[in-house]
Amino acid sequence: MLYGGRAVKVEHLAPGASRPVTLQAILRAEATKLPFLVVSPASEGQRIVILEAVDEALWIGRSPDCHIPLEGDRLASRTHAGLVRTGGDWAIADDGLSLNGTFVGADRVVGRRRLQDGDVVSVGESTLGFRAARTGAVANKTVAGDRLPARPDVTPAQQRVLVALCRPLLGDPPGSLPASNRQIAEELCLSEDAVRTHLKALFERARVGAVAQGAKRVRLAEVALATGLVARHDVE
């Protein structure tokens, strides 16, 4: 899409794209050294949007004319919010354009709010995960109505478990599954029982309790990477 004579770079992922495919798209975005968004629309496949320097706002909304269109989101306004550069940073702006509001985490945006790495912006039923230029992340698999959760609060010990869990996903080449309990235990010099205790608490904090038992570890890794709890520099 052209904007101000420049193209807004967007990579579209097919609905239900596999986790390795999503991971590779994120790593390609990270390689640009530019900030980017992981856009999870209400009823479409995810998109990776590279945020190049522009002089005016990039508009988000239900209208197909927006730079980041959310055409299947009935709760999004036609022109809902804008992304604007503030110095070297990016901010989300909602100056009363939207009917249902724009949120960063649980906080409603009034005017402008500077975005931090890992912030999750909610627009209608869609979410936009913001990634600063220095980090990368893996977005959660998109399903209709799925929303990226806010970044969970974790202890330093739980953070170390998350880094070990996600290490294979950010390897070279990247793996398709997170680390096993045994691998985490060996890396952190813990017992496997201690690892299971940490993971049980993390499942609750990341709100993955409703996920099938066999998929909880993968979902936890996705949440950690998508919300910036774990980034590439953590495993280097």
Chain segment 100-132, per-residue pLDDT in tens: 999 998 899 999 999 988 888 999 999 998 988
Determine, yes or no, domain membership for 31. Answer: yes
**Does residue 200 lie in a domain region?**
yes
Mean pLDDT for all residues in the chain: 81
Domain boundary among 95, 114, 131: 131
Closest by CA to 58, choosing from 93, 26, 33, is: 93
Q: How many domains does the chain fold into?
A: 2
Instruction: With respect to residue 138, please indicate whether it lies within any of the assigned structural domains.
Output: no
Q: How confident is the model at residue 4 (pLDDT cuts 50, 70, 90)?
A: very low
Portion of the chain with pLDDT greater than 90, in percent: 34
The β-bridge partners of 129 are 38, 120
Q: Are residues 77 and 172 in the same domain?
A: no
Q: Give the per-residue pLDDT at 20.
A: 58
Q: Are 56 and 83 spatial neighbours (Cβ–Cβ below 8 Å)?
A: no
DSSP 228: T
Considering the domain architecture, whether residues 12 and 74 belong to the same structural domain is answered as yes
The mean per-residue pLDDT over the stretch 81-98 comes to 88
Distance CA 58, CA 79 (A): 10
Q: Are 25 and 129 in contact (CB under 8 A)?
A: no
> Are 71 and 125 found together in one domain?
yes
Does residue 141 form part of some domain? no
Q: Are residues 10 and 126 in the same domain?
A: yes
Structure tokens at 89: 């940073």
Residue 205 has a CB neighbour count (10 Å cut-off) of 17
Q: What pLDDT does 94 receive?
A: 93
Tell me: the pLDDT tens digits for 33-84?
A: 888 998 888 777 788 888 887 777 899 999 998 989 998 899 999 999 999 9
151 occurs within a structural domain: no
Which CATH number covers residue 164?
A: 1.10.10
Residues 110 and 60 in one domain: yes
Asked whether the predicted pLDDT for residue 182 surpasses 80, the reply is yes
Q: How confident is the model at residue 227 (pLDDT cuts 50, 70, 90)?
A: confident
In a domain, 228, yes or no: yes
Q: Decide: 84 and 112 in contact? Cβ < 8 Å.
A: yes
Whether residue 17 is predicted with pLDDT greater than 80 in this model: the reply is no
Name the nearest CA neighbour of 188 among 161, 162, 225, 215.
161
52 shares a domain with 127: yes
Residues 101 and 181 both lie in one domain? no
Question: Quick one: 218 and 107 in the same domain?
Answer: no
Say if 170 falls within a structural domain.
Answer: yes
Indicate if 116 and 163 belong to the same structural domain: no
Give me the sign of the Cα torsion angle 168, 153, 143, 39.
negative
Burial (Cβ within 10 Å: 0-12, 13-18, ≥19) of residue 115: buried
Q: Which of 135, 142, 115 is nearest to 22 (CA)?
A: 142
Last residue of one domain, picked from the residues 131, 147, 177: 131
Residue 138 pLDDT more than 50? no
Q: Is the pLDDT of residue 143 over 80?
A: no
Whole domain around residue 184: which residue ranges? 156-235
Among the ranges given (46-55, 140-149, 210-219), the one the predictor scored with the smallest mean pLDDT:
140-149
Is 9 a domain residue? yes
In this structure, the answer to whether residues 175 and 126 fall within a common structural domain is no
